[in-house]
């Protein structure tokens, strides 16, 4: 508070103040009589600053960004405004740079960061954190380790939220066939035995035990198996990958399943689980939990992502969404301040409300109540998020190319068009050809 202008005191008032000071007991710290209180000067009002926030994809308008995160930044730092730019046309980073784009913040993911670094938009926030006395202790160690892994020796940015995988199940189908409900901490072998018990033909309807909605079980594999090495060579034709893919392929080879390409791929699996309700268990992103508020009527629950004997107690790799502060920005201090607002507890709880994973060590999901997320009332909500994430594989520009081929090998094995050994060998050859073509086109 600013000091008021001093006025000359009347003698009677001076006598009263001295008497009051002398009569005060010594229970606290006292100033010497006659010593003036210097007061506290108000902090200078920050100059207005506009941050250019770049979203490198399309389909995420400014209104949604502000609702999800931008408003929390402005609430904490009113002097900051956001110039939001999304890549609506899918332009290359090089074309955007040529057009004059100079972002102060870039949203990216662990699998997309390599493209950001390629054009020189990366940045190390280590010094910014030290300057602002920022404590990383509140962040989930696996998430922080993941961000450090994308650019070894640096801290590439601050996290926003995490996407992960979870195992959902239809309680009515378990009841129908007298199968005990799933529990946290199960292994894939245990889940496989459950799937076998449920898969059957009954009353003219085929009931299936298990399905996967997304191919992310490959990119987020819980053994942290690499698909591309530092020399841009595909490296997934290995025994480890064979065992990992075989773990999931066996679910579709249970007698009576009747696997087809349509049934295996994500959209149909989701319909069988949510609409037809003939699929008992479904692996999908945790943010896609059924919502009664949207008219999705199903008696469901969720358990932690099952584990493998080769890496017990470990969930999938996190799909980390984080913000980079480019080294080319001249507003890095303000950008760092903005990001700290996203990491505060209330904002993280808001992410959880929409089904996104918190990046905090103590996830608000564990204590979130039905008054905050009515669709999670009575659900095992804490298991939407793993206790321990698997280590991230080393980022590479061609991860997507290689992971796509691994998925093709998985499909070939499930559908019986190739044995798994052949399928992985062919897929690796195809991946290397595709990578070589892309490398040649860059020359």
Domains of the chain: total: 2
Q: Within this chain, do residues 170 and 250 fall inside the same structural domain, yes or no?
A: yes
Which domain, by its residues, includes 64? 49-162+319-384
Residues 170, 299, single domain; the answer is yes
Question: How high is the pLDDT of residue 75?
Answer: 95
Could you write out the three-class secondary structure of the chain?
CCCCCCCCCCHHHHHHHHHHHHCCCCCCCCCCCCCCCCCCCCCCCCCCEEEEEEECCCCCCHHHHHHHHHHHHHHHCCCEEEEEEECCCCCCHHHHHHCCCCCCEEEEECCCHHHHHHCCCCCCCHHHHHHCCCCHHHECHHHHHHHHHHCCCCCCCEEEEEECEEEEEEHHHHHHCCCCCCCCCCEHHHHHHHHHHHCEEECCEEEEEEEECCCHHHHCCCCCCCCECCCCCECCCCHHHHHHHHHHHHHHCCCCCCCCHHHHCHHHHHHHHHHHCCEEEEEEEHHHCCCHHHCCCCCEEEECCCEECCECCCCCCCEEEEEECCCCCCCHHHHHHHHHHHCCHHHHHHHHHCCCECCECCCHHHHCCCCCCHHHCCCCHHHHCCCCCCCCCCCCCCHHHHHHHHHHHHHHHHHCCCCHHHHHHHHHHHHHHHHHHHHHHHC
Contact in structure between 367 and 163 (CB atoms under 8 Å): no
What are 169's strand-pairing partners?
Answer: 281, 301
List of residues 6+ apart from 401 with CB closer than 8 A: 228, 431, 434, 435, 438
Q: What is the pTM of this model?
A: 0.76
Same domain membership, residue 248 and residue 108: no
Residue 173 lies in a domain: yes
Q: Write out pLDDT tens, residues 127-149.
A: 999 999 999 999 988 888 889 88
Q: Is 157 inside any structural domain?
A: yes
Whether residue 30 is contained in a domain is answered as no
Same domain, 154 and 171: no
Question: Sheet of 80-86: strands edge to edge?
Answer: 80-86, 49-55, 105-109, 319-324, 158-163
Residue 238's CATH number: 3.40.190.10
- Tens of pLDDT, residue by residue over 291-314, are 998 899 999 999 999 999 889 999
Residue that terminates a domain, selected from 344, 361, 384: 384
Characterize the bridge pairing of strands 165-170 and 205-212.
unpaired
Which pLDDT score, from 0 to 100, does residue 132 have?
A: 93
The answer on pLDDT for 421 being more than 70 is: yes
Where a domain ends, among 337, 359, 384? 384
- pLDDT of 1 reads 39
Answer yes or no: do 147 and 85 share one domain: yes
Last residue of a domain, one of 384, 416, 433: 384
- pLDDT category, 60, cuts 50, 70, 90? confident
Decide if 13 is inside a domain.
no
End-to-end CA distance of the chain: 63
| 227 shares its domain with 154 | no
pLDDT band at 225 (very low <50, low <70, confident <90, very high): very high
Q: Would you say residue 41 lies in a domain?
A: no
Residues 246-292 pLDDT 10s: 999 999 999 999 999 999 987 899 999 999 999 999 999 888 899 99
Q: Model confidence over 147-206: pLDDT tens digits?
A: 988 888 999 999 998 889 999 999 999 999 999 999 999 999 999 999 999 999 999 999
Is the domain of 324 the same as that of 433?
A: no
Indicate if 228 and 310 belong to the same structural domain.
yes
User: CA–CA separation, 148 vs 318, rounded Å?
Assistant: 13
């Amino acid at each position: 508070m600013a000091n008021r202008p001093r006025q000359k005191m009347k003698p009677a008032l001076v006598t009263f103040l001295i008497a009051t000071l002398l009569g005060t007991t010594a229970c606290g710290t006292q100033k010497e009589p006659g010593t003036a209180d210097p007061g506290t000067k108000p902090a200078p009002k920050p100059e207005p600053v506009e941050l250019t926030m770049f979203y490198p994809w399309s389909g995420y308008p400014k209104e949604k960004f502000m609702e999800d995160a931008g408003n929390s930044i402005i609430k904490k730092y009113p002097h900051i405004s956001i110039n939001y730019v999304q890549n609506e046309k899918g332009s290359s980073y090089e074309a955007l740079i040529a057009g004059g784009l100079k972002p102060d913040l870039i949203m990216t993911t662990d699998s997309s960061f390599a493209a950001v670094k390629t054009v020189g938009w990366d940045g190390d926030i280590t010094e910014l954190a030290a300057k602002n006395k920022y404590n990383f202790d509140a962040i989930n160690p696996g998430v922080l380790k993941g961000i450090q892994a994308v650019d070894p020796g640096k801290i590439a940015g601050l996290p926003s939220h995490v996407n992960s995988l979870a195992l959902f199940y239809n309680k009515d189908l378990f009841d129908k066939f007298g199968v005990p409900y799933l529990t946290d901490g199960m292994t894939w072998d245990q889940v496989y035995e459950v799937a076998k018990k449920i898969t059957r033909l009954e009353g003219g309807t085929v009931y299936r035990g298990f399905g996967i909605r997304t191919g992310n079980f490959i990119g987020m594999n819980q053994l942290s198996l690499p698909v591309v090495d530092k020399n841009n060579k595909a490296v997934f034709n290995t025994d480890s990958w064979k065992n990992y893919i075989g773990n999931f392929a066996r679910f579709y080879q249970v007698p009576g399943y009747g696997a087809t390409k349509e049934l295996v791929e994500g959209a149909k699996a989701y319909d069988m689980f949510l609409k037809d309700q003939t699929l008992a268990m479904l692996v999908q992103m945790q943010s896609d939990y059924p919502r009664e508020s949207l008219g999705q009527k199903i008696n469901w629950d969720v358990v932690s992502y099952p584990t493998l004997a080769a890496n017990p107690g470990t969930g999938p790799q996190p799909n980390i969404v984080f913000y980079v502060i480019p080294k080319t920005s001249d507003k890095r201090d303000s950008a760092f301040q903005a990001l700290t607002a996203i990491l505060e507890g209330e904002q993280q709880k808001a992410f959880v409300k929409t089904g996104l994973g918190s990046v905090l060590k103590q996830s608000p999901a564990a204590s979130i109540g039905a008054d905050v997320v009515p669709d999670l009332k009575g659900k095992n909500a804490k298991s939407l998020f793993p206790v321990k994430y698997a280590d991230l594989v080393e980022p590479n520009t061609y991860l997507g190319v290689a992971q796509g081929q691994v998925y093709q090998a998985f499909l070939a094995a499930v559908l019986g068009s190739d044995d798994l050994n052949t399928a992985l060998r062919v897929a690796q050859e195809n991946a290397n050809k595709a990578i070589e073509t892309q490398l040649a086109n860059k020359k």
